[in-house]
Chain A
């Protein structure tokens, strides 16, 4: 056991759902069956359940962290849960599924490798299935698992599963997600969650946990287009490192190697990578999403917000940008309004030039007439920024393709933008 952790990797997934689709039960089941709930946590929710006069232990109480949520029996915010098996560590972004919480779903989805979407076997595709699928696809989550839940309530019939799956396949062909899987489960009874179901011998695929443990995530990061947004310039001012000038940051794409020919943006100067440092050790190559410090052959003027890229593979340098935005502000998005933008390690100001259309997140229908973008709405807009940004399309790179919009009067984050 002692060295096992040296081979574990990390999978971040999101679960979206509303009150009665069994989402909390599923998470509770994953934590409970993988032995990630501790005795004192279990004891606390047993007491809380019986105080509320509930007969069964309510596993949802485990995920509702704030007093207001427990009192009202609702989930307000994104909550993060952790569990691990000998193969992987998992981070769950647990988000509420109502329309009015679209912004929370988007937040949880922004860093996820995988989305679990629960479908009630009795109701099959409903509005929220479409909404969750659209958001997962819009946020570029590489893998979706549809869990057809409550199979116990349809007598574990294969026919129901196949019918639902067929409908989902038809619907999801509109999505950009490539890896989509289907699983028949009962979260309440634990069928096919951690342990195989005895009542669905017709199902020959993996259990949910087995899928989560083995799904291939090594290529989820873009390892082709080299992008290194400079976060900080290190100058030690120490005798032993007198001339040291290092550029630190987190690699946003590609594999950088020592001696690589690189170009600095925006200056356009070309130079070579002299060394790559990871603390005291010099390494030969570094790749996304590592945090490293680089030194360059030539002493050039580089500062925070600049980007180091490969000579033959450069991002677009744009001032006029079209984005899909998920609006999160209390006040509607202001057409012709001015906002601050944060993109990689760079802050600029922007002007909203045009609201092109709004997307009905239940039907994916484009609405070009209604241009009032309220909280939780998703719209395509055109912006102009004060200084050029070094961008990739969001579908190519989730780091250099994303930005946030900040209200200058409140300093609040009011929008999440994906570059098209």
Chain B
């Protein structure tokens, strides 16, 4: 390769760091949404690179459904400690207790959709004017049309037909009072780029991503973990399986993959040969063809 030519990972990294710095320069009170999943971990890593040797100039916010895996909470708290980050927790349980949202009932119930209210309330409470997130355009077709700087009206809604044009590297974060933005620094990364970057940069990720033994059951063809907050039907048999997670979301709607991949190299190999997208295991996207577009319009990430 030419001496003055970047690899794809270096070019993506340079682009994302530029965008994070633009967010900080253009907004008064930005925040990084942090789920503890690999994409938000990479975003946080990029933010640390962008401001070294200074601290990251914005807090992390975890919109917590309360239905996450134990390993995730441990990882999150460890990372906060090691990197000197500021963490804000926005609790879905609290939104339920305050009567702002109503918990879904039944076997397929999930708190995933309830996150939107908690997120929008937290943005308002903390007066954040830009929420950054680790969404990628390759994840889902509604996200393929998302901008790096995504304008939201004063109800936090996304209007996909009325997006600002985004040209070159010139990002327009001007807004009226009461409006806010979402920003997606890793829009142009694919699942594979993320894994390769984690390997290249030796970034720590939760143990859930690696193959381990866990009590699981199968519902609608998806392997689900048995947790204290998942209800199983009588015919759903609990078996101890060798699994790992490709995405980490709320434990009630994130499917596991049967896998022996216990190292980053093996995960990359598995992703290369996989014929199913990572969101293929997410029950929340399967609700309808435009499920993601609908949730995004309401203000979901």
A interface, CB within 8 angstroms of B = 1-2, 5-10, 38-41, 44, 48, 62-68, 70, 76-82, 84, 88-89, 91, 103-104, 106-107, 110-111, 217-219, 221, 223, 231-232, 234-238, 240-241, 244, 246, 248-250, 255, 277-280, 287, 289-291, 293, 304, 328, 340, 342-343, 345, 398-399, 402-404, 406, 411-413, 416
* Chain A residue with Cβ nearest B52: A279
What are the residues of chain A within 8 A of B193 when measuring CB–CB? 89
What are the residues of chain B within 8 A of A293 when measuring CB–CB? 52
Residue from B21, B50, B137, B170 within 8 A of A402 (CB atoms): B170
Cβ of B207 within 8 Å of any chain A Cβ, yes or no, is: no
Roughly how many angstroms separate A111 CA and B147 CA in the complex, as a whole number?
Answer: 14
A-B contact count (CB 8 A): 199
In chain B, positions 1-53 with a C-beta closer than 8 Å to chain A are: 1-2, 4-15, 17-18, 21-22, 24-25, 48-53
What are the residues of chain B within 8 A of A68 when measuring CB–CB? 161
| B170 touching A291, Cβ below 8 Å | no
Cβ of B275 within 8 Å of any chain A Cβ, yes or no, is: yes
Cβ of B79 within 8 Å of any chain A Cβ, yes or no, is: no
| A66 touching B142, Cβ below 8 Å | yes
| B145 touching A291, Cβ below 8 Å | no
Roughly how many angstroms separate A79 CA and B268 CA in the complex, as a whole number?
Answer: 26
B interface, CB within 8 angstroms of A = 1-2, 4-15, 17-18, 21-22, 24-25, 48-55, 137-138, 141-145, 160-161, 163-170, 172, 174-176, 187-188, 190, 192-193, 196, 200, 265, 268-269, 272, 274-277, 280, 289-290, 293
Roughly how many angstroms separate A107 CA and B165 CA in the complex, as a whole number?
Answer: 7
What are the residues of chain A within 8 A of B293 when measuring CB–CB? 65-67
| B13 touching A291, Cβ below 8 Å | yes
Residue from B17, B166, B170 having most chain A Cβ neighbours under 10 A: B170
Roughly how many angstroms separate A223 CA and B7 CA in the complex, as a whole number?
Answer: 16
Q: Given known contacts A238-B54, A241-B53, is B168 in contact with A40 (CB within 8 Å)?
A: no
A127–chain B nearest beta-carbon distance, Å: 23
What are the residues of chain B within 8 A of A76 when measuring CB–CB? 161
| A80 touching B53, Cβ below 8 Å | no
| A416 touching B142, Cβ below 8 Å | no
| B163 touching A10, Cβ below 8 Å | no
| B14 touching A77, Cβ below 8 Å | no
What are the residues of chain A within 8 A of B55 when measuring CB–CB? 236, 238
